[in-house]
Structure 1
Amino acid sequence: MIDKKQMTEEDIKLRYITPAITAKWSLDHITMETKITEGKINLKGNFVFREKPKKADYILYINPNKPIAIVEAKDNNHTVSYGLQQAMTYARMLDVPFAYSSNGDAFYEHDFITGQEREIPLSDFPSPDELIDRYQMGIGMTDNEKQIIDQPYYTSQTTYPPRYYQRNAINRTVEAIARGQQRILLVMATGTGKTYTAFQIVYRLLKSGIKKKILYLADRNILVDQSIQQDFAPLAKTIHKINFAKDDPITITSYEVYFSLYQQLTDREDDECESDEDETVSRLAKLFHKDFFDLIIVDECHRGSAKKDSNWRKILEYFSSATQIGMTATPKETKYISNIDYFGEPIYTYSLREGIEDGFLAPFRVINIRTNIGEGWRPYKGQRDKNGNEIEDRIYTNSDFDYNIIIEDRTYEVAREITEYLKSTDRMQKTIVFCANEDHAERMRIALNNLNADMVKQNPDYVVRITGSDAYGKSKLDYFISVSSTYPVIATTSKLLSTGVDCKMAKLIVLDQMIGSMTEFKQIIGRGTRIREKEGKTHFTVMDFRNVTRLFADPEWDGPIEQDDNYGKGDSHISEPGPDTPYGSNSEPKEKPIVDANGCKVEIIGKIVSVYDANGKLLRQESIIDYTKSNILGTYASLDNFIRHWSVEEKKENIRALFLERGINLENLKADQNMADVDDFDFICHVAFGQKPLTRQERANNVKKRDFLNKYKGAAREVLEALLDKYMNAGIYEIEKTEILKLDPFQKFGKPSRIAQFFGGKDGYLRAIKELEEELYKVG
């Protein structure tokens, strides 16, 4: 027998823990090495990598919907209870009532229902019936709850199983409804699958027979259509989109799931319009009696339904007998608006912070860009605008530009900076530019169009304005948010794309509007948080021209949700200042001064790259170049030291790999600095030691001017000349690879072995390559 102390953790599991569990539990109710999270994506320098995901050694289930226990294993050099805190961490994440650890000698149990812990012999591990009885008795489970727990999720080959937090949200919701709870609030960050979660809730409640008629309310057509076509597609035969103009009160009753806009049911464009309650009730009564629905789901409930006196709230009050679920990424708690007041405390919360930590949401870096007028611009005495009107003498700041005054050169400089960023990274990355208003969005579209005329020439929809009043832009919205559609690439907008619109491939979020509302700020940041790893999206960038990202320092950023102490005490008819109110005043001036480049010249005077953690805390604030320089100087003490290392390194690619380990992708960084035609050698010397860089073409031409090539005749010289051309186009790493001899233009010389004979054999060829490299990097 092997000494137990010498066994690995896997041996302990195989010989002791697994047999003890499977003696009581069938394999259908056990999963092993179960991935809970995806692993956080980290941004290190300009390099991106994933941490290892969290995995549970064993998860035990009542049924596929409901895990009931976690078991963590350790080798026998640890105590029985050593893994218990890890098991408890996973149990809390998964809403599991029992946690166990084992080292192969016994089990140690933590019971979350009683708070008690105890040691259990291997042979006495609890059976499924024992844990189920303890769980059901401990929480006082009702018959309705038992019924809903046994109702499975919807599964298919194209539907992914719920992630752990989605399962928590679904289970908590359906179990609360089974207990008779009538109002429920779910808070889930943008990009975490609120609609998919809603679908699984609806599916289980319908199939279990607990609910029969369900209304799904949203405030935008695209949100309704997205939900019907995507997440709710498995219920397509029982779904109906309400249309008051066409629906028959008799035949409309034949469906199970109804989708509607708030506005349709109130006959109002928005919830600010005055309307008496009788009118709203009368409209609803034309199609539905007040007890028709037994479940209502309110999407984006931080909007109109959170206002006590809104028309949207009247819909919920008319159907007051129905169970009502509010869903939002950003619950609103102000003096005038409260989700908690109506729906109660959230039954489950999964925050942006948790999503990023778990690796389900994309992390981001922020580029703060300052202009010479950001802190203030004052017209000179008597200065007139383009139309000949005198400009009011005062100091104008970021809060005024495009709201109260138009500085044409500022629009151009912002568009130029966006364009330069796209050129240095990826000109086809989906980009949303948030502008002050629709007019600003149109001027920004024109500026971006003209600065990217080469791309617009290929497709006129490269840049499109997508705003509420722009019919053409709205017709392109589906294409913009589609993962498979290339165009449009850049969307300029003001409010339309700030909430609810699911643009999975948005890699660049540009902030050129003032944002005073934390709710709207979270919604806008949420536009970029979706991950599409297969399509190359692992993170995103926020480019901030108005210092809006100062809101990361606000305690409200991803903080606890608390009801405002003053809610309901003031005049509830006062409109809350917020995202739909022009910044800085109640109304924008009818005619804004327009100042051209002659009247105000704008320049970019500073750029800082900031990386935040998931809590919005500033991890570091740096220039990527400074980060690279400090890493180079930490590796090579001097220029001579670096050149010596470069010269003696057999494979120059090893130096590139060393920088990748430090989080520096030299290729991306060169592109960012418009130095893609420069060798890594020159780039490193330039960044760290201030040397003037030569392009690869200049280095190749210097070799040709010297007599190095004259040493070789005939085919050997032709091969070296071709290698120099390859160096000019692709760099040093390519000519180091012997595989290059299998490609054009070398194929005409024959196989690599024949080419080597031009140099007297393989050793002679490698010697010639080494001499060519020395010649390329020769000083002078």
Structure 2
Amino acid sequence: MTPEIRARQQIDRKLEQAGWTIQDLTHINLGAGAGIAVREFPTDTGPADYVLFVDRQAVGVIEAKRDESGENITVVENQTARYANATLKWRVETNVLPFLFESTGQIVRFTDGRDPVPRSRELFHFFRPDQLARWLAQPDTLRRRLAEHMPALPQRNLRNCQIGAVTGLEKSLALNKPRALVHMATGAGKTFTAITAVYRLLKFGGARRILFLVDTRNLGKQAHQEFMAYTPPDDARKFTELYNVQRLAGSTIDPHSQVCISTIQRMYSVLSGEPIDESAEDVSLNEVRQTGNQAKLVRYNPAIPVESFDFIIIDECHRSIYNLWKQVLDYFDAFLIGLTATPDKRTFGFFHENIVAEYTYEQSVADGVNVGYDVYEIETEVTHKGAELKAREWVDHRDRQTRRKRWAETEEDMPYTGKDLDKSVVNPSQIRQVIQAMKTAVETQIFPTREETPKTLIFAKTDSHADDIINTVREVYGQGNAFCKKVTYKAAEDPDSVLSSFRNDYNPRIAVTVDMIATGTDVKPLEVLLFMRDVRSRGYYEQMKGRGVRSLGFDDLKRVSNSADSAKARFVLIDAVGVEKSLKTDSRPLEKKPGVPLKDLLQGVAMGHRDDDTVLSLANRLVRLAKQLDDKAKTRVEKVSGGVPVAELGRALIAALNPDRIVEAALATAKARGITRAEDTLTADEIAAARAERVAAACAPFDKPELREEIESARREREQLIDHVNIDEVSFSGFSAQAETQAQKTIQAFADYIALHKDEIGALSFFYQQPYRRRELTFDMIEDLHERLSRPPLMLTTERLWSAYARVQASQVKATTARRQLTDLIALVRFALGLDAELKPFSEQVDRRFQEWIFRHNAQRATAFTPEQTEWLRLIKDHIASSCSIARDDFDYAGFADRGGLQRAWGMFGTELDGLMKEMNEELVA
């Protein structure tokens, strides 16, 4: 078989897989199917290898080349274009054929001649005929729409970094760049940014379907939730009300979906035919070591053709698109958009160095989007040096999987290092010492004013290690099960439920995880991260640190950590395994000198200390201080600084140390001197001089003593001195005169309203016409009166009225800490009208009247009420106290229903029941 014949056979097979019918010219039958590929079709410039017909219309050509030719297939693009522009024999239409293919059978390249700047691209496989028909039915191509029809981005509710990311991406797509990288710091809203872009690509770009790729099932759930919560700026409906979003759980893509969320593992399984282990979607690809038996190749799947997606958004693209998994991206004919907070050289290379947005962690801290962090180290002897178990020592031996123990002797001396801990050896004392040291540090040094343990996340090595840590945490802190929970995929308790509680509820205070919430998962209240495991990957470590960087407002932080006294201003990374030293991280703690007072940092900078540690520490303190100051303090600082806000002073220090800007400044200085320089020819002295100049400009404001003093004064106002020396005593107790005057106005407004509306409001007319209309008072009448009183401008709520009477007529108001009920409005009206001499809760009045009524009844009856009847009468009394009255239908409510309801009451009281209810309605509410 010649190379030419072999290439043609491979092309024929691929066309048939894609739904094309292959025909020779002598047997042409354009009615045989929707898509017909005719071999050796004659044109006025010679026979074309294949001409493609869709619904009997010629739409494209394929130029076939042998695979072994050694030629770059792009060299025949002119030949393909010649056939597309040629006159086809017997053809009625004269327009140029739009779809151009070149193929060796192994390689397929495609050009859409209708694009604004036609450019060929490599395909995994040929398109199906219905795809070409769909494109032909559209007035513009996708790439033309991206270049010419995308409207300006509405900027409402978007951060500057998000605006820059979406606009940068759309500019890249307009230029037909196939790959784009969005680099945004953790916490800056990457997913929200991506959904904004997805919405615009669907609505204005006319995209048919978009794939959102993740590498863990948990991140897929989180992304789906964000799609459901997203409301576009130009439509009041949610995203999922406008477009169908599918979270892929099987092997079939919903034909009606516009967005498909899938793990890359599942999509690989679908395309390769490799069965998927459900647990594979629960582990980050950072933690998966690929072996030879995994390398099954992706193959064409007619149910999911290469044109299934127009765009693929790859979340956490720094880890999920290489080696084995790259095949998934090579399969689809789609623009690739990467999202990451931690790119590396491999990431930049994959996306052709097309970085459409770059927003670093340091920038996010300066902008207040994220918070800075401090590093606190814990080291133990065993962690550092290891230890040794001697032969014939009686110790527990524990099965790693079942955790079943047996008591036995060691067979030989067994030295171990810190790296062996929690793998071959578990040392409970080491875990206990670390946890105790963390507890002491947090309570005495890190967050000494907190009454509760700050939300803390502990990274464990394995699931078994996590169990050991949890047991130790509960013991050291003296707390129960709810205090510390495991959040891993292997946990018996639903991990999503525990994670939700960790975010939103008081407990758990401490969570222990292996990998489930190591990356991508939002837990904003986190303020402490404890590393009890080392990490192989620099990017993964940055992602794990990212769990703590998210900023959080004061009210939201206080909701789960009640003793917090400000918004979240930082988090603390506690390193118990040397993870910070074992890796050089791209993002760095801004607080390099956490023990140096702010006053000394300010003085040091003024005296000329311009090293990175001092400048960055001062910057972090200023950015943090800006979040804590009130408007008055900020204004005082700005007056002295010449109008520069405190936060901006800090950001300027961070910006001054930006390496890229320093190089730009050095190049500009050289150019100003008439010297042409390239970046790699700058000398160390030139870069140092540029740095010194930039840092000097940023530090110049701190030369002013009055600014330093004002900043320090503002900081001192945030702290309190506790005086245990001077003993105080009470000289006066009571409300102020001003408060009493306001209370009198409130009472008068209430009295005036009652007098003015006594005839038109049912509840008021009831009291004015006592005792003849007692039976008519209902809960609806009281609710109506309350609603009228609480409207502006009166705003007379039950609580406000009760408080006013307590201030003005304290001797006549019964003191109570009980929460006000709506029926207490009855007591207020009666007191205002002079029907009662004392203001007391309505329920207490009902209790007193009930005692009088039942005593009178028992005295008049031949036999007193039985204990069971009395209990039922008390239930009726309680219902009247909360609802004003009782009727037969009320026996369906829980208090009665679980005791037998109306049937039981009737059996107990018989025909007396209705009369008793009528009496109680009148007597108890009178």
TM-score (norm 2): 0.43
1:121-166 CA-partner distances (Å, limit 9, x unpaired): xxxxxxxxxxxxxxxxxxxx9984453243546x6xxxxx211111
Residue identity in the other structure for 2:320 = G
Asked if the contact 1:199–1:232 (Cα under 8 Å) also holds between the matched residues in 2, the reply is no
- Cα deviation for residue 211 of structure 1 reads 2.3
Q: Which residue of 1 aligns with 2:221?
A: 225
Aligned residue for 1:76?
A: none
Structure 1 pair 300–471 and aligned structure 2 pair: CA distance change class (3 A): farther
Q: Which residue does 1:518 correspond to in 2?
A: 538
Cα distance per residue 1:695-734 (max 9 Å; x no partner): x5xx7xxxxxxxxxxxxxxxxxxxxxxxxxxx8xxxx6xx
Residue 544 of structure 1, aligned match among 555, 562, 575: 575
Report the secondary structure of 1:326's partner residue. Answer: strand
Q: Residues 371-415 of structure 1, C-alpha deviation per residue, up to 9 Å, x if partnerless? A: 233431433764736234448757644333223422111111222
- In 2, distance between residues paired with 1:361 and 1:385? 51
Matched, 1:503 2:523: yes
**C-alpha deviation, 1:350, in angstroms:** 1.0
Q: Residues 244, 375 of structure 1: CA spacing in aligned structure 2 closer, same or farther, 3 A cutoff? A: closer
Distance in 2 of aligned mates of 1:487 and 1:741: 40
Tell me how far 1:617 sits from its aligned partner. Answer: 5.0
Structure 1 partner of 2:265: 263
Secondary structure at the aligned position of 1:265 is classed as: helix
CA distance in 1: counterparts of 2:717 and 2:385, whole angstroms: 37
Secondary structure of 1:227's partner?
helix
Q: Report the Cα distance in structure 2 between the residues aligned to 1:447 and 1:240, rounded to whole angstroms.
A: 43
Match of 2:648 in 1: none
Q: Is the 8 A contact 2:215 2:263 kept in 1?
A: yes
Q: Does 1:239 find its partner at 2:244?
A: yes
Corresponding letter in the other structure for 1:347: V
Of 301, 308, 313, 1:292 maps to 308
- Residues 739 and 665 (structure 1), Cα distance of their counterparts in 2 relative to 1, 3 Å cut: farther
1:376 is matched by which residue type in structure 2? K
Aligned partners of 2:526, 2:174: CA distance in 1, in Å? 39
CA distance in 1, matches of 2:307, 2:518: 35
Match of 1:430 among 455, 462, 465: 455
Task: Choose which of 148, 151, 162 in structure 1 pairs with 2:150.
Answer: 148
Distance 1:232 1:274 in 2: 39
Q: Secondary structure at the match of 1:476?
A: helix
Partner of 1:313: 326
Shift of 1:417: 2.6
Contact 1:367 1:609 in 2 (8 A): no
- 1:200 to partner: Cα distance: 1.1
The answer to whether residue 458 in structure 2 is matched with residue 462 in structure 1 is no
Which of the pair has more CA radius of gyration? 2
| Structure 1 residue 450 corresponds to structure 2 residue 475 | yes
Distance 1:389 1:525 in 2: 41
Deviations 1:545-574 (A, max 9, x none): 12222267x374469xxxxxxxxxxxxxxx
> Is the Cα contact below 8 Å between 2:181 and 2:337 reproduced in 1?
yes
2:419 to 399, 415, 419: 399
Q: 2:417, 2:189 → 1: CA distance?
A: 39
The answer to whether structure 1 residue 362 and structure 2 residue 371 are counterparts is yes
- Equivalent-residue separation in structure 1 for 2:732 and 2:458 (angstroms): 45
Give distance in 1, aligned partners of 2:570 and 2:334: 41
> Partner amino acid for 2:329?
L
Deviation at 1:478, TM superposition (A): 3.5
Aligned to 1:412: 432
Distance 1:357 1:372, change over 3 A: same
TM-superposition CA deviations, 1:612-646 (whole Å, max 9, x none): 99x9958679xx9xxxxxxxxxxxxxxxxxxxxxx
Structure 1: distance between partners of 2:711 and 2:264: 57
SS of the equivalent of 2:382 reads: coil
SS at match of 1:205: helix
Q: 1:395 to 1:189 in 2, by over 3 A?
A: farther
Cα RMSD over matched residues? 4.1
Matching residue within 314, 334, 350 for 1:322: 334
Deviation at 1:207, TM superposition (A): 1.8
Question: For residues 203 and 245 of structure 1, do their structure 2 counterparts lie closer, same or farther at Cα, with a shift above 3 Å needed?
Answer: closer
What's the offset of the Cα at 1:213?
1.4
Aligned length: 441
Q: 1:167 aligns with which of 138, 163, 166?
A: 163
The answer on whether the counterparts of 1:512 and 1:545 sit within 8 Å (CA) in structure 2 is yes
Rounded Cα–Cα distance in structure 2 between residues aligned with 1:437 and 1:551: 20
> Does the aligned pair in 2 maintain the 1:480–1:489 contact within 8 Å?
no
Q: Which amino acid in 1 is paired with 2:255?
A: T
After superposition, the Cα gap between the structure-2 partners of 1:739 and 1:360, relative to the gap in structure 1 and judged at 3 Å, is farther
Q: In the superposition, relative to structure 1, how do residues 380 and 142 fare at CA in structure 2: closer, same or farther (>3 Å)?
A: closer
Q: Does the CA contact (< 8 Å) of 2:389 and 2:415 recur in 1?
A: no
Preserved CA contact (<8 Å) 2:145 2:205 = no
Match of 1:301, as an amino acid? Answer: C
- Compared CA separation, residues 659 and 246, structure 1 to 2 (3 A): same
Higher strand share: 1
**Mapped partners of 1:540, 1:145: distance in 2:** 44
Q: Shift in Å at residue 362 of structure 1?
A: 0.7
1:348 is aligned to 357
Between the aligned partners of 1:663 and 1:390, the Cα distance in structure 2 is 60
**Alignment match of 1:489 (pick from 486, 506, 509):** 509
Matches of 1:386 and 1:171, distance apart in 2: 63
Encode CA deviations 1:347-378: one digit per residue, 9 max, x unaligned.
Answer: 22111111112221111222212223343143
**Structure with the largest fraction of helix:** 2
Which digits, 9 at most, give the CA deviation of each residue in 1:431-483, with x for residues without a partner?
101122221111110111123344x2xxx32210112322415243441453x
Once residues 205 and 213 of structure 1 are traced to their aligned partners in structure 2, the CA distance between those partners, rounded to angstroms, is: 10
* 2:297 and 2:327 in contact (8 A); partners too: no
Tell me, in whole angstroms, the C-alpha distance in 1 between the residues paired with 2:392 and 2:716: 50
Residues 434, 513 of structure 1: 8 Å contact kept: yes
- Give the 3-state SS of the residue equivalent to 1:281 in structure 2: coil
CA contact (8 A) 2:362 2:587 kept: no
Indicate how the Cα distance of structure 1 residues 660 and 175 shifts in structure 2: closer, same or farther if over 3 A, else same: same
Output the CA distance in 2 between the equivalents of 1:144 and 1:495: 39
Residues 432 and 490, structure 1, Cα contact 8 Å, conserved in 2:
yes
| Counterpart residue number, 1:3 | none
Alignment of 1:204-223 (within 5 A): 204-223=200-219
CA contact 1:437–1:494 (8 Å) conserved in 2: yes
Q: Which runs of 5+ in 1 are unaligned?
A: 1-140, 156-160, 560-607, 625-656, 668-678, 682-695, 700-726, 744-749, 752-780
Q: Which residue of 2 aligns with 1:304?
A: 320
